Structure 1
Amino acid sequence: MSISPAMFARAATRPEHCTKDTCPASYSIYGYAPNLGANAFFVAIFAISCLTFCYQARLYRKWLGFSIAMILGTALESVGYGSRLMLSADPFSATGFKLNIVLLTFAPALLTAGIYLLLKHLTLSLNPRLSPLKPSLYTPIFVSCDLAAIILQGAGGAISAAAANGTNKKLLDLGVNVMIAGLSSQVVTLAIFAILAGVFFFRIAGARDTLEPHAGHLWQASGFRMFVISAILAFVFIFVRCAYRIAELKDGWGSPIMRRENEFSILDSV
């Protein structure tokens, strides 16, 4: 993957040679000024989610690993969308651009780690014997893979952010390629996790009559079912987000997909 001369020319002009007063937003790497209302909405949603997870962690004092991952993930998402508010005011803001890359890269990986931890607790609460993988192995295997993906994506984002203020095309290309490697590894890990989770829930559904009384009551509880459905939806959305980010980055910074905000709002933000 390489950056076309036209794309790189736009990147190279930001921010030394372009400001919001001298250049249109179409000259920025994203090619637009992020929508103020939409991004303010996501700031609020993730901030409320963060506070909710903080309250629940303090109230119940259980599943702290899951709570910490979700608190950090939603906090970074909120601040990350705050950086897009900076870009809304000034599409050429170097600070907004760097924060946007780094925070919105790290945050979803932390949310994914929370979901990985969640399956361990679900298997232990329902029937660990029906899990295709020993419950104690979910955390070290999948969180380690997620950590590797976080490191790759974070490193790629940092490299790209550092190169964005200069004219180092090779560094920009390197940053994008490292981010794609991290996203690709995350997609593979998510796919494997989905298979294992699917097998477990399929087995649970077929063995409801053999569950212990407490597990049977838990499985039938509407609140528990809503919780599981919400986790599944979050997992699906994160998987779609990772696939979208790979497509967005494969043509480099300033790619046609990257320059369409509606697709970002639907496939990444939501």
Structure 2
Amino acid sequence: MSNVPAVDPPTNCTLQTCPVATSFYSYRINLAANLAFLILFSLLTLSYLAIWLLIRRGHTYATVMILGTISEIIGYAGRVWSYYDQWNETPYLIQIICLTIAPAFYSAGVYLCLAGIVRVFGEGNSRVRPLWYTYIFVPCDVIALVLQAAGGALAATSIDGASDAAELNTGVDILLAGLSWQVFTLTCFIVLCGDLAWRIRRRCRAMGADVALSQDPESVGIRKPKRFQYFLGALALATILILWRCAYRVAELNDGFSGPITYKQGLFIGFEGVLIIVAATLMVVAHPIVCLRGNVIGNSEKTTDKA
């Protein structure tokens, strides 16, 4: 990456004494939008927590989704704080790190669902055993999370211009690598999901659904209600939205923290806030712990295991 200039706003600035273009954001933060996201993610956190406590299944799924929404809450709280002082470095760093890593928790939640989906349709329809999807994709997501957190922290602590520009560049490069890895992993996941859907369709046509699909009574009971079809559609759309958001952040950071996309608040609200709030809402409305009866991760031999 070419040299990424550090953001170095004037000290002791206020809206009355300095142009907003000299702040960390270079635009006036939209308070209403950020408050709305803060409230909505707070409600989603309560929803995930309530379902978890009520059903008492899917502990891993509930944990990663709640961690994701809490990260969003902290991030948007940082942006609301910044609204009152856009030259304050602390809230700026908070929102950079928390909003960058939050969707990695959601993609982990998506990955946890595939093993259960395979078991519901029947393991014979998959190229690999169900838990291998978890074993492959969750560690990949952890790598993306670690890279994003480390890169974001390094870049954020160097962004005031006090540190060597090389340190800032290194942080941005690591952060960009984490986001790019997440895009690659999500793309591979979508390809495998498409392959699974194609194999299920082909086998049902060739053999009949009674043979191609699992006839285990619980699997049949999960597949039969319309809510299972809604769940599959909601999960697919949420995955695409998370991928879209990550691709946007890759484009945004391609020129570092001072690229032209970075300073377009409308793009940030639409492609960061709106996309993720819709994805997180889809994953609580069509909750896999309900639609899969808790069968998110666990023993590959039973669909009744608690995650």
Task: Identify if the C-alpha distance between structure 1 residues 180 and 94 changes in structure 2 by more than 3 Å, giving closer, same or farther.
Answer: same
Structure with the larger helix share: 1
Q: Distance in 1 between matches of 2:39 and 2:50?
A: 16
Partner of 1:107: helix, strand, or coil?
Answer: helix
Equivalence for 2:62: 67
Task: Identify if the C-alpha distance between structure 1 residues 131 and 252 changes in structure 2 by more than 3 Å, giving closer, same or farther.
Answer: same
1:139 aligns with 2:134: yes
The code of the aligned residue for 1:195 comes to V
The code of the aligned residue for 1:2 comes to S
Stretch of structure 1 that moved more, 36-45 or 204-213: 204-213
1:201 aligns with 2:205: no
Q: Is the 8 A contact 2:9 2:87 kept in 1?
A: no
Give the TM-score normalised by the residue count of structure 2: 0.81
The code of the aligned residue for 2:222 comes to L
Q: Distance in 2 between matches of 1:178 and 1:50?
A: 29
Q: Is the 8 A contact 1:249 1:258 kept in 2?
A: yes
- What whole-Å deviation, never above 9, does each CA across 1:13-47 have from its counterpart, x for those lacking one? 25x36444432221123211321111111111111
Equivalence for 1:260: 264
Which of 98, 107, 132 in structure 1 is aligned with 2:102?
107
Aligned pairs, number: 265
Aligned-residue offset at 1:233: 1.4
1:123 aligns with 2:118: yes
Aligned-residue offset at 1:3: 4.3
Partner of 1:148: helix, strand, or coil?
Answer: helix
- What whole-Å deviation, never above 9, does each CA across 1:250-270 have from its counterpart, x for those lacking one? 111121101001111111112
The code of the aligned residue for 1:183 comes to L
1:221 aligns with 2:225: yes
Q: Is the 8 A contact 1:43 1:78 kept in 2?
A: yes
The code of the aligned residue for 2:200 comes to I
1:23 aligns with 2:18: yes
Partner of 1:30: helix, strand, or coil?
Answer: coil
Q: Is the 8 A contact 2:159 2:168 kept in 1?
A: yes
Structure 1 residue runs without a partner (length 5+):
none
Q: Is the 8 A contact 1:29 1:254 kept in 2?
A: no
1:184 aligns with 2:188: no
Equivalence for 2:2: 2
Equivalence for 1:57: 52
- What whole-Å deviation, never above 9, does each CA across 1:76-100 have from its counterpart, x for those lacking one? 1122111111122221121111111
- What whole-Å deviation, never above 9, does each CA across 1:180-199 have from its counterpart, x for those lacking one? 11111111111111111112
Aligned-residue offset at 1:217: 4.2
Q: Is the 8 A contact 1:87 1:93 kept in 2?
A: yes
Structural RMSD (CA):
1.8
Q: Distance in 2 between matches of 1:40 and 1:140?
A: 37
- What whole-Å deviation, never above 9, does each CA across 1:92-120 have from its counterpart, x for those lacking one? 12111111111111210011101000111
The code of the aligned residue for 2:254 comes to K
Structure 2 residue runs without a partner (length 5+):
275-307
Q: Distance in 2 between matches of 1:256 and 1:131?
A: 44
Q: Is the 8 A contact 2:120 2:220 kept in 1?
A: no
Q: Distance in 2 between matches of 1:98 and 1:143?
A: 27
1:236 aligns with 2:232: no
Q: Distance in 1 between matches of 2:128 and 2:69?
A: 28
Q: Percent identity?
A: 37
1:97 aligns with 2:92: yes
Give the TM-score normalised by the residue count of structure 1: 0.91
Aligned-residue offset at 1:209: 4.0
The code of the aligned residue for 2:198 comes to F
